[in-house]
Structure 1
Amino acid sequence: MGVAIRTAGEDDRDLVVRLLDEAFHEDPVSRWVFPGTEHRRTAHPKLMAAFTDIVLDDGRVDVTEDGSACALWMSVPAAEHGPGAEHADDDEGPARLRAEVDPDNERVELIARLTAGVHPAGRAHAYLWMIGVAPGRQGEGLGTALIQHVLDRCDREGLPAYLEASNARSRKLYERLGYELVGEPLDLPDGPRMWPMWREPRPSGGQR
């Protein structure tokens, strides 16, 4: 049986924020950004809400019909870095994110600058910003279905895709879907490793 997927709207905002908060609360990168358990409980949802608002405004959010998983996508034009990269070297984008989410936490700003700095430029591509699956539904193929839903379109249109894997488990999933490491891994200061990954479009009918 296939997974029913629809495009989210503003009415789905709270659902998407909750899914991302639950899915990433114990993720290595989230734990690095918010190392204190109690503080992470209150600040992490604010960061997920900020990301959700950005993508609802300028990108696309897909959700499964049963509300168990979501994926946040941005369309990046040619010759640009990732979302917010135009402010990576000044105090606008990342600093504004920090002020909105957790003003005293420099890592909120730093993670935005570092990921923007490794984001490939030059070719238009689909950027998978985040994908979240409810903890009780992980391992059912929902994440794969959400990603493949967009990759099929990328293959039809000859469009590459990009993401940053935040843990080794997700990296293996992305490799199965055709993503490959691009450039060097991103080692967060005194923190975990992230893997920038790029996927070339596959010919129609190509092997998955």
Structure 2
Amino acid sequence: MGVRIRTAGEGDRELVVRLLDAAFQDDPVSGWVFPGEEHRRTTHPKLMAAFTDIVSAVGRIDVTEDGTACALWISVPAVEQDLDDEGPARLRAQVDPENERVELIGRLTAGIHPSGRAHEYLWMIAAAPGHQGEGLGTALMNSVLDRCDRDGLPAYLEASSDRSRKLYERLGFELQGRPLDLPDGPRMWPMWREPRG
């Protein structure tokens, strides 16, 4: 029995925000962005809501039919786009104005994002804590990676933990350039996957 996947609609916003918040509360990068545990518990959901809104506007969010996992994807064109230099600052103002790391993480990840080739960008993927390790993330990714393989499109992501990096390697992703060491914080791994077949 396979995992059924559908495209999220407007009514799924709160579900997606809850999934992202629960899955990333204890993630090393989230801990770096919001170092105080109590502050993270109250402010992290705002960042996940902002991410959900950004991807809803320009990309696609897939959810499992049972609502236990989601993946946020953006199709990046080959043609250079004008980067929104003020996007990270607006995000900071919206989410946590006194926290420069909200803005910095956006600027740092934008700075390592590959350009020049069309690709699918996995912004975030999350499974509810009680459902991690059940293959939901792999199913969500494979639904897009299969299409990438058919269409000859590469895929890109930034792994935020060693555990997730190993999962992505099993799916054919390889380190793209050097890892990103966040200032006084954890490491992120930019990863690229060439289409197969």
TM norm structure 2: 0.98
Aligned positions of 1:17-56 closer than 5 A: 17-56=17-56
Correspondence for 1:98 among 92, 116, 119: 92
Aligned-pair CA distance for 1:39: 0.4
Contiguous gaps of at least 5 residues in structure 1: 204-208
Alignment correspondent of 2:146: 152
In 2: Cα distance, 1:104 partner to 1:20 partner:
23
Report the RMSD for the aligned CA atoms in angstroms. Answer: 0.9
Q: Which amino acid aligns with 1:164?
A: E
1:143-189 Cα shifts (integer Å, max 9, x gaps): 00000010000000000000000000000000000000001100000
Distance 1:181 1:67, change over 3 A: same
Q: Which amino acid aligns with 2:196?
A: R
| 1:112 has 2:106 as partner | yes
TM norm structure 1: 0.93
In 1: Cα distance, 2:189 partner to 2:11 partner:
32
In 2: Cα distance, 1:79 partner to 1:176 partner:
30
1:39-98 Cα shifts (integer Å, max 9, x gaps): 0011100000000001111100000000000000000011437xxx703xx4x1100000
Alignment correspondent of 2:120: 126
Q: Which amino acid aligns with 1:3?
A: V
Alignment correspondent of 1:206: none
In 2: Cα distance, 1:57 partner to 1:117 partner:
22
Contiguous gaps of at least 5 residues in structure 2: none
Correspondence for 2:184 among 190, 193, 196: 190
Equivalenced residues, count? 197
Aligned positions of 1:135-174 closer than 5 A: 135-174=129-168
